[in-house]
Amino acid sequence: MIRIAVLLSGRGSNFAAIHQAIAEKKLDAEIVAVISNRADAPGIARAKDWGYRTFIFDNRRYASREAHEADVLRALDDTKPDFIVLAGYMRLLSPAFVAKYRGRILNIHPSLLPAFPGVDAQAQAIIARAKKSGCTVHFVDEGLDSGPIILQREVDVQPNDDAESLSARILEQEHIAYVEALKKLAKT
Ligand code: GRF
């Protein structure tokens, strides 16, 4: 049984997929904390409904990145996760944070990395007329979407796709990929 802390800033559909896999006993894990920098993140509302321990640290109320991260790190010290799962967390982690949890922080990105790192990866794929795209679950290092890859799932880009339709097709695969990646880690 692995202990997971989820960090999110928005919708939380990847968090919901992980929650569901655990509830259906497809993933042997426990979500010990859901941490957000946004009090109004829909993902936080879901976490409360499902009875998880939630923490809100609004970064706009802190004087520095370090001060904000100190509170996040305290919540992690308190809840002792094995893995930290970034699920639409719109904050970069400092090198000190990454160093403390090296090999234990996961992110999901909506492209086949190393292609299209950074923001708007799905739109980048459309503009580049990529034939295939997909998603990548990877460990977080100090770079932008650059850490060791755990797994990827592909989707075809259709000729009539726009960023929105491609995002929706990739998102279905994200939900499968994150659970698969965590299953892999739960076994090792
Ligand atoms: C996903 O597209 C993920 O790849 C990216 O942010 C989005 C989060 O979606 N990092 P959700 O909040 O999990 O629904």
- For residues 19 and 80, state if they share a domain: yes
Alpha carbon of residue 146 to chain centroid? 14
- For residues 76 and 121, state if they share a domain: no
Segment 83-108, tens digit of pLDDT: 999 999 999 999 999 999 999 999 99
Residue that terminates a domain, selected from 56, 75, 101? 101
| Cβ count within 10 A of residue 111 | 22
- For residues 123 and 171, state if they share a domain: yes
- For residues 17 and 64, state if they share a domain: yes
Mean pLDDT, all residues of the chain: 97
Residue 54 CB–ligand 1 contact under 6 Å: no
Residue 110 CB–ligand 1 contact under 6 Å: yes
Q: Where are the beta strands (DSSP E) in the chain?
A: 2-8, 29-36, 54-56, 83-86, 105-109, 132-139, 149-156
Q: What is the CATH number of the domain that holds 179?
A: 3.40.50.170
- For residues 12 and 66, state if they share a domain: yes
Q: Of the listed 19, 68, 109, 138, which one is catalytic?
A: 109
- For residues 89 and 1, state if they share a domain: yes
Alpha carbon of residue 62 to chain centroid? 23
Residue that terminates a domain, selected from 70, 101, 132? 101
Of all protein residues, the one whose alpha carbon is nearest to atom 6 of ligand 1 is: 88
- For residues 26 and 53, state if they share a domain: yes
- For residues 78 and 118, state if they share a domain: no
175 is catalytic: no
Residue 14 CB–ligand 1 contact under 6 Å: yes
87: CA distance to ligand 1 center in Å?
A: 6
Segment 142-170, tens digit of pLDDT: 999 999 999 999 999 999 999 999 999 99
- For residues 65 and 126, state if they share a domain: no
- For residues 15 and 93, state if they share a domain: yes
Residue that terminates a domain, selected from 50, 76, 101? 101
The DSSP result for 11-51, as a single string, is --HHHHHHHHHHHTTSS-EEEEEEEES-TT-HHHHHHHHTT
pTM beyond 0.75: yes
Q: Determine the Cα–Cα distance for residues 82 and 75; give it in Å rounded to an integer.
A: 13
154: CA distance to ligand 1 center in Å?
A: 16
- For residues 117 and 161, state if they share a domain: yes
Sign of CA dihedral 19, 21, 25, 28: negative
Which residues form the domain of 154? 107-188
Q: How many domains would you assign to the chain?
A: 2
- For residues 63 and 36, state if they share a domain: yes
Segment 19-51, tens digit of pLDDT: 999 999 999 999 999 999 999 999 999 999 999
Residue 153 CB–ligand 1 contact under 6 Å: no
Mutation choice for ligand 1 from 174, 175, 178, CB with most ligand atoms inside 8 A: 174
Of all protein residues, the one whose alpha carbon is nearest to atom 9 of ligand 1 is: 88
Residue 134 CB–ligand 1 contact under 6 Å: no
Q: Assign 188 a pLDDT band (cuts: 50, 70, 90).
A: confident
